[in-house]
Amino acid sequence: MTIHVVGNVCVDTSFRLERLPRPGETLNASTAVEGLGGKGANQAAAAARTGATVTLWAPVGRDAAGDRMASLLSADILDLRLSHLDLPCDRSVILIDRQGENVIVTAAACAEAFDPLATSLLASTWRAGDMLLMQGNLGADVTAQCLEAARAAGLFTVLNPSPLLVDPLDLARVSLLVVNRPEAEALTGETDAERAAERLLAMGATAVIVTLGSEGALIVDTSSRLYIPAEKRDAIDASGAGDCFAGTLAGLLAQGASLPDAARLATQAAGIAVGRAGTLASFPTRAEIAALTKTFKLENV
């Protein structure tokens, strides 16, 4: 099975601060780091580090930043299907306080212009039995069309709709929906994670995972409810933890792991990530994922 990750690539600039600034306030950062980011790139790299076969379909700018991001991506992902657009490469600015909480602002001209079904070989490359993994960075119409085409072609579809799309999606196209607690509440109006997950099932998703930060994750489908606990860790930087979870989860599922086993290991991987500085740089390495896999005795991975 190939995981087709359709999403975005960003230049991430992270600033570490004692606290987040108030409106109108200027603060000096203790450090500033620039590197590879974007939810599509992050999740594709996390999936590839599990040993899964991954193809990344994403736009980059036709500029030096785009070339640099493509070079960095090649360290994790062998099959890069990047569309070089006549736009500046997308960029994100991440502010991180000493508790590890963050705020992110993204300039996403490339992601907003990207239409993989119209401008790439995506639909002629995927095969029945493959997986489509998407996020919320592309346009709502593009995301909906990709999910619909993938389901019609016999793919297993995974959606992590972050950032949340303005227009609601038909979740009947989604085999597995992965959201955090605030996203689940925003989509359903339910503050309780289990009730929100049940509402998302009623809206069409086949299965739902609600990630709960330091509390772990909740898996809900039509027949079961399962809480996955997380180990207590000191958080240094929570940016990218959701991407680490989603990508690791998809990579393990693509290799035959059960949903509970994949979610347990993905929770462990995200826990490692929040204990380190950086976004993609904080994700567990291939060797660390392999060691976790042995710990969980995943027979098919």
Cβ contacts of 252-255, under 8 Å, gap ≥ 24: 252/50, 252/52, 252/293, 252/298, 252/301, 253/131, 253/156, 253/158, 253/176, 254/1, 254/2, 254/3, 254/47, 254/52, 254/53, 254/131, 255/1, 255/50, 255/51, 255/52, 255/300, 255/301
Distance CA 136, CA 131 (A): 17
**Interhelix angle 39-49/241-254, nearest 10 degrees:** 50
Q: In the chain, at which residue ranges do the beta strands (DSSP E only) sit?
A: 2-6, 10-16, 31-37, 53-61, 79-85, 91-96, 102-107, 131-135, 156-160, 176-180, 207-211, 217-221, 225-228
Q: Which of 12, 76, 237, 243 is catalytic?
A: 243
CA angle 235, 239, 242 (to 5 degrees): 95
- Could you confirm whether 192 is annotated as catalytic? no
Cα angle value 239/244/248 (rounded, 5°):
175
Whether residue 7 contacts residue 243, with contact meaning beta carbons closer than 8 Å, is answered with no
For residue 228, give the 3-state DSSP assignment: strand
CA count, 13 A, side-chain hemisphere, 207: 17
Residues with catalytic function: 243
